[in-house]
Structure 1
């Protein structure tokens, strides 16, 4: 894992699209095609990132369990949203165009873009004590959750799994860090809605 001071905070603003495509995952009738892009100079391989994100969206604990949504990784012009891994300054700029302040630290979902802060992708979060891949799953599940219509939720109770739609980077409020919308038995891990 790189030291935070070695991670670039600004980049070219140009994106490289992963030359990758996959099969549809999930059986939901709402198919959402997505591209994966990485900011040029970020030091992240677009195809490797795309493979990891595809695996997250295909996981049985993910959003396909709702029976509504299915996903397909594409690299062409026809898509529903883009997952973009970018430097903090680029994330701040793009999210800021929609009135969101990501203050160099967090991710956002705006328009047809899921913006992933490079620092979060490479180092995780101090609030999340699981492995880095699990934190990446939380990023993708949380922001894609917004894309498909879910709002923020908060901790449902002491010692319970934090909802994927909880802003866990702001503190767990007694919950246990969790990356997934559903548990292994297909139960939605929910919490009270946050305005």
Structure 2
């Protein structure tokens, strides 16, 4: 989802077209990213195709920081559930298809605390996925990071195109672009830069978590590279959770709680704050096209 903690509770309204309350992110300059860091791990944690009831919360507000949980600065998981308790099947894996693997995971010390606050936009674009009004998005990576904007964009594309993603709602469509008008941007940045951009709208990300503010889905580099303890062995799956959770806020979905012990955690659950009996899940919908949700929470 991202590692999540919420500061001032905010509600959010479902967007019509491009309207999203609060700050708009600057358009990123086009500079090239460096080497790709993509981590993969054992698939023993994340489960993808679980059942759950459908429920969508419409909310309005300036932005949402999935922050403020005592995380020990390592990853913590997410999980959500549906209408009937189900268990992951052996073939189910929450991870999107792998992109580029790295020889060794970075340590916490390897991740810069802050950066220049300027960004490289991933070149090229993708085909449209989903039905309904197309939301055009960019993928930006902060300059100076050992992370390829092009590789990051491929991961985001895979997540948003997955049949278990937001396109399963029947009215959300996405297309990645590198120029022109955009509805939102997925921006991977150092903890300090995320804090600055989210903080400009009153959101406290504490150097640890992500936020959705204005037209920016801000992704904390630490979470992108290290995930949380629950997802530490499947960082790729956790990246899907980050994208799905924050884009879910952009689409107007509020936070949800665990629906019951042993059930899949909703993607809109702040899994970084604990699983509360739910099992890890990184997708909004299950394999049967059912929305995975739980009780609404602030």
- TM-score range for the pair, normalised by the shorter chain length: over 0.9
CA contact (8 A) 1:65 1:186 kept: yes
In structure 2, the partner of 1:102 is 205
Q: Residues 135-166 of structure 1, C-alpha deviation per residue, up to 9 Å, x if partnerless? A: 00000000000000000001000011110001
Secondary structure at the aligned position of 1:127 is classed as helix
Are 2:264 and 1:165 equivalent residues in the alignment? no
Q: Residues 13-36 of structure 1, C-alpha deviation per residue, up to 9 Å, x if partnerless? A: 000000020100112x12110000
Structure 1 length as normaliser, TM-score? Answer: 0.97
Aligned residues: CA RMSD: 0.9
Q: Residues 20-63 of structure 1, C-alpha deviation per residue, up to 9 Å, x if partnerless? A: 20100112x12110000000012110000001100000000000
User: Which structure features the higher share of strand residues?
Assistant: 1
Structure 2 length as normaliser, TM-score? Answer: 0.64
Distance 1:130 1:184 in 2: 23
Q: 1:129 to 1:88 in 2, by over 3 A?
A: closer
Cα drift, residue 131 of structure 1: 1.0
- Counterpart pick for 2:125 among 13, 21, 29: 21
Cα drift, residue 129 of structure 1: 5.3
CA contact (8 A) 2:185 2:216 kept: yes
CA contact (8 A) 1:82 1:114 kept: yes
CA contact (8 A) 1:20 1:50 kept: no
CA contact (8 A) 2:140 2:188 kept: yes
Q: Which entry has the higher C-alpha Rg, 1 or 2?
A: 2
Larger RCO (CA under 8 A, 6+ residues apart):
2
User: Which structure features the higher share of helix residues?
Assistant: 1
In structure 1, the partner of 2:8 is none
Distance 1:55 1:91 in 2: 23
- Counterpart pick for 2:278 among 165, 171, 175: 175
In structure 2, the partner of 1:7 is 111
1:77-116 equivalence runs, <5 A:
77-116=180-219
Distance 1:129 1:87 in 2: 19
**Number of equivalences:** 194
